[in-house]
Amino acid sequence: MKIIHHAHGAKTNELVMSTEDDDQLILQEDQTLRAAGVAHETEVAFFNKEDYGLYKANPTSSW
What tens digit of pLDDT does each residue of 11-29 get?
666 666 788 889 989 999 9
- Any domain includes 6: yes
Average pLDDT, the chain: 84
| The pLDDT of residue 14 | 63
| Domain residue limits at 34 | 2-57
Cα(34)–Cα(55) distance, rounded to whole angstroms? 28
Which 3 state secondary structure label does DSSP give 25? helix
Cα(18)–Cα(12) distance, rounded to whole angstroms? 8
What tens digit of pLDDT does each residue of 32-54 get?
999 998 988 888 889 999 998 99
- Any domain includes 38: yes
| The pLDDT of residue 61 | 73
| The pLDDT of residue 30 | 93
Letter for the amino acid at 61? S
Cα(58)–Cα(49) distance, rounded to whole angstroms? 14
Report the number of distinct structural domains present in the chain.
1
- Any domain includes 42: yes
